[in-house]
Structure 1
Amino acid sequence: MSGAISNDNIKQFQADLANTPASDVIQKTVMNNGVLASSENTDSKVSMTPTFSIELDTGSVANQKQSGRCWMFAALNTMRHGIQDQFKIKDFELSQNYTNFWDKFEKSNYFYENIIKTAGESLDSRKVAFLVATPQQDGGQWDMLTAIIDKYGIVPKSVMPETYNSSKSAELNSVLNLKLRKDAVILRDLVNSGASADDVEAKKAEMLSGVYRILAYTLGNPPTEFDWEYRDDDHEYHIDRDLTPKTFFQKYVGWNLADYQSIINAPTDDKPYNHLYTVEMLGNVVGGREVRHLNLDIDTFKQLAIKQLEAGESVWFGSDVGQSSDRQIGILDTEIYHKDALFNVDLSITKAQRLDYGESLMTHAMVLTGVDIVDGKPTKWKIENSWGDKVGNKGYFVASDAWFDEFVYQVVISKKYLPLELQTVITDEYDKPTVLAPWDPMGALA
């Protein structure tokens, strides 16, 4: 076959189709029902029953609605679980809008700083093009949320509730990214015209004032002090006065966030296991906590998640949720669709190949709240999602262990559950991680 498709080629392809068993029936089925319904494997529904040998009771799910804040919801969910148990507040939530405000504010400054740093590069350089393609967005990483909490603390949802714009973020993102791109033009011109560092900084401060105003109008002005009052599940009234976001975090969550480490499973040749990685231009708080990923093999990766669940702690994780999934019934399983059998084509591809060739990356963060262990091995996992209670089993999903192997890329684990040799890797490499390119798949935002 030469480079061009010939008429003889097409005749052969048509003959191959005609010789495929039941071709007419399959064609009509797929045309009328779509690919997923036509390839659905009903056995998957039976095997993914929501029963687990290790299961945490984490209450009702949250709902991020029409926003991309899954990473934030998932992280705050892991923190609220302890508050729910200790203070007997079944449906308590932390304010996702509060952290969203400061994340967007800090991301704007982070963008400005990267625009200033790359001002000497041409507009068509890959780094500048990467920056201006999406100046800021809803998505993020675990380390980015901890950087926000380290600096600003957190508050209960009742203190800074959701707004139209936090729950439906497209309009806010559109106007904010327009402003950031316009500001990028001004900052690049200033730097390239020889303006002093003080003049550039003054202009940036003026720009940030405008960003703050946009965020205050759309999300509300974040509180600096507040009283927290609530009734517990026994209907007893409580009030805690004169709290700040930082004192609230210290008193009611009390985690040492530095103890929690991002662990990834990226089986690509460019990322040897048992080493620490970071991603260039990935972050939000300038001068705050930076992203650090420890890459481990999948078996160690899973055993650490199980160890944390066994200790009664839920696990933040990042995955490619759209792969082999049924959103409505809440099943994530490599066997849920048999597309290769439907089309009689080989669609097999390894996890490493998916990452290297752009077929998959982390798209969504959720929380592991259970696992079913059979003969010492995990068979399926319980997942707390943040899409409300109208999907899955009242908002909870079930993932097969095979799906976990293929499409889970990140978990966050307390360092106390890591063996000493891995704790040593983190300590030794923390200030000198391998730096990945800004567009590396491990820089994907959930």
Structure 2
Amino acid sequence: MNRKIFFSLLVGVSVIAETAFAQISGGIDDAMMQGIKNAYKNTSADKAIRNALNANSIQKLAVSADQKDVIDGYFSDRVYSRGVTDQKASGRCWLFTGLNVFRAKMIDKYKLPEFEFSQNYNFFYDQLEKANLFLQGVIDTRQKPMSDQMVEWLFKNPLSDGGQFTGISDIIGKYGVVPKEVMNETFASNNTSQMASLLKLKLREYGLQLRELPVQTDMEDIKRIKTEMLGTMYRMLVLNLGEPPLEFTWTRKDINGKPVETKQYTPKSFYNEYIGKDLTNGYVMLMNDPTREYYKLYEIDYDRHMYDGYNWRYVNLPVEDIKKMAIASIKDSTAMYFSCDVTKFLNRDKGTLDLNNYDYESLMGTTFGMNKKQRVQSFASGSSHAMTLVAVDLDDSGNPIKWLLENSWGATNGYKGHLIMTDRWFDEYMFRLVVEKKYVPKKILNILSQTPVRLPAWDPMFAPEK
């Protein structure tokens, strides 16, 4: 054999062997395992913790005994409202939150004994519009391969019961609102998973059918086919949620429950009379995302509830700027759409969001040292739940001590249906706030004129809030 060829083969075998060894050396060998095991000393403290964890949850044992401060229910500034809503086993927190913002204003303005908008009514049209959003998205991308990232994202996310504020502005703006008693909850609206599973299954089937249409198919024919598909979706929604009313009669009552006025309404006329705001142009969506540049405008592609609606567009700001606008809004008796990473350090029994609720470090004998930016970068934290921000407790210098959130988990959950959030927790786990423009400083409003930085639909920071 030629020496050069032999030498080349020898070098090649050597490289392969080194690569294989490198791969093997990355595993856990006996010596490494011994070093790993040495980290557990089996001390008396270790045994006690192990015994306790054998029969108890980590969270139960991590409750901090050193937290002597009792978080009271006093707030220096609070938005007036009555009653607490309950989204039950559904991901409609975004819808409950948005409607609760307007509900508080309506109760205060007309001195109602209590009032609730029909979440089921708007949820019906939300699901129908999302079905169309998916089908039209498939039509728009039908000539791209299934491996295309956008096509893949569409089929992974054909429909969801979660959402965000653009769903409020678009759906309510188009379809109006009705009182809860006009279109009440059903089993499927309170427990969305089974209905959602069937809707998504059918949408994926329809999506494949649309992709299989001949390339030369006329757009009018495609529109006709899509309309027939949406007819099936409409029927499925009616069977599960009921059919939305076109008009209704409603009697407004005073604080003592006495009738004040009885009128005939359509959903749009009811919206115009009792909400009457420009939801698309009258609000600013704010974000605290430390992984991206502040004082910039961002837009998330396809993060909307309607095909002809608006993408989620927000101004990214330091948390201190956001707090100032939140305080101004509360002082003017205006509640806000707020979202956060709600499960972090949540004490459900007390209804508190406090970094001192649990001492996981002492229990586990290690530290958890990531800051907010690092948690977002590593997918350890992100916005997961929307609630209505209704109160703040300020010290003598005007600095926030704690905040109050009206939740949608029922009146018996948490602190009388609310969650009390410390200001330090706000810093670490608050992500989004929607405020009326009149509370936003001019320099921040000017950011809205920027060309937005476009982010892809699959950005993990923008999963629907549930």
TM-score normalised by the chain length of structure 1: 0.94
Partner of 1:369: helix, strand, or coil? Answer: strand
Aligned CA distance change for structure 1 residues 398 and 4 (closer, same or farther; 3 Å): same
1:248 to 240, 245, 270: 270
Q: Deviations over 1:186-234 (max 9, x none)?
A: 11111x5432222211111111111111111111111111111243322
The one-letter code matched in structure 2 to 1:364 is H
Instruction: Give the Cα–Cα distance (whole angstroms) in 2 for the partners of residues 336 and 385 of structure 1.
Output: 19
Contact 2:248 2:266 in 1 (8 A): yes
Map of 1:422 onto structure 2: 444
1:231 to 242, 245, 253: 253
Map of 2:242 onto structure 1: 220
Instruction: Give the Cα–Cα distance (whole angstroms) in 2 for the partners of residues 162 and 239 of structure 1.
Output: 25
The unaligned stretches of length 5 or more in structure 2 are 1-23
Map of 1:9 onto structure 2: 32
Name whichever of 31-40 and 75-84 sits farther off: 31-40
Map of 2:6 onto structure 1: none
The one-letter code matched in structure 1 to 2:77 is I
Contact 1:265 1:409 in 2 (8 A): yes
Name whichever of 230-239 and 154-163 sits farther off: 230-239
Instruction: Give the Cα–Cα distance (whole angstroms) in 2 for the partners of residues 289 and 395 of structure 1.
Output: 32
Deviation at 1:162, TM superposition (A): 0.8
Correspondences of 1:62-77 after superposition (within 5 Å): 62-77=85-100
Contact 1:367 1:383 in 2 (8 A): yes
Map of 1:49 onto structure 2: 72
Contact 1:227 1:239 in 2 (8 A): no
2:183 to 160, 164, 167: 160
Map of 1:444 onto structure 2: 463
Within the alignment, does 1:196 sit opposite 2:215 as a pair?
A: no
Instruction: Give the Cα–Cα distance (whole angstroms) in 1 for the partners of residues 415 and 172 of structure 2.
Output: 31
Instruction: Give the Cα–Cα distance (whole angstroms) in 2 for the partners of residues 291 and 409 of structure 1.
Output: 14
The unaligned stretches of length 5 or more in structure 1 are none
The one-letter code matched in structure 2 to 1:134 is N
Name whichever of 335-344 and 152-161 sits farther off: 335-344
Contact 2:383 2:430 in 1 (8 A): yes
Contact 2:352 2:415 in 1 (8 A): no
Within the alignment, does 1:122 sit opposite 2:122 as a pair?
A: no
Correspondences of 1:314-329 after superposition (within 5 Å): 314-329=335-350
Contact 2:339 2:386 in 1 (8 A): yes
Map of 2:355 onto structure 1: 334
The one-letter code matched in structure 2 to 1:444 is A
The one-letter code matched in structure 2 to 1:434 is V
Map of 1:286 onto structure 2: 307
Map of 2:20 onto structure 1: none
Partner of 1:25: helix, strand, or coil? Answer: helix
Partner of 1:321: helix, strand, or coil? Answer: coil
Deviation at 1:144, TM superposition (A): 1.5
Instruction: Give the Cα–Cα distance (whole angstroms) in 1 for the partners of residues 405 and 65 of structure 2.
Output: 21
Contact 1:355 1:441 in 2 (8 A): no
Contact 2:117 2:180 in 1 (8 A): yes
Aligned residues: 440
Within the alignment, does 1:176 sit opposite 2:199 as a pair?
A: yes
Aligned CA distance change for structure 1 residues 436 and 44 (closer, same or farther; 3 Å): farther
Deviation at 1:127, TM superposition (A): 1.9
Name whichever of 121-130 and 400-409 sits farther off: 121-130
Name whichever of 40-49 and 28-37 sits farther off: 40-49
Within the alignment, does 1:89 sit opposite 2:112 as a pair?
A: yes
Percent of aligned positions that are identical? 35
Deviation at 1:55, TM superposition (A): 2.0
Within the alignment, does 1:345 sit opposite 2:345 as a pair?
A: no
Instruction: Give the Cα–Cα distance (whole angstroms) in 1 for the partners of residues 54 and 195 of structure 2.
Output: 39
TM-score normalised by the chain length of structure 2: 0.91
The one-letter code matched in structure 2 to 1:326 is N
Instruction: Give the Cα–Cα distance (whole angstroms) in 2 for the partners of residues 371 and 247 of structure 1.
Output: 34
Instruction: Give the Cα–Cα distance (whole angstroms) in 1 for the partners of residues 190 and 42 of structure 2.
Output: 52
Map of 2:129 onto structure 1: 106
2:317 to 296, 299, 306: 296
Aligned CA distance change for structure 1 residues 195 and 77 (closer, same or farther; 3 Å): same
Contact 2:252 2:262 in 1 (8 A): no
Partner of 2:103: helix, strand, or coil? Answer: helix
Aligned CA distance change for structure 1 residues 43 and 315 (closer, same or farther; 3 Å): farther
Instruction: Give the Cα–Cα distance (whole angstroms) in 2 for the partners of residues 395 and 84 of structure 1.
Output: 18
Partner of 1:18: helix, strand, or coil? Answer: coil
Aligned CA distance change for structure 1 residues 45 and 409 (closer, same or farther; 3 Å): farther
Contact 1:281 1:438 in 2 (8 A): yes
Name whichever of 207-216 and 67-76 sits farther off: 207-216
Indicate the RMSD between aligned Cα atoms, in angstroms. 1.7
Contact 2:290 2:373 in 1 (8 A): yes
Within the alignment, does 1:80 sit opposite 2:80 as a pair?
A: no
Instruction: Give the Cα–Cα distance (whole angstroms) in 2 for the partners of residues 394 and 164 of structure 1.
Output: 25
1:393 to 412, 415, 437: 415
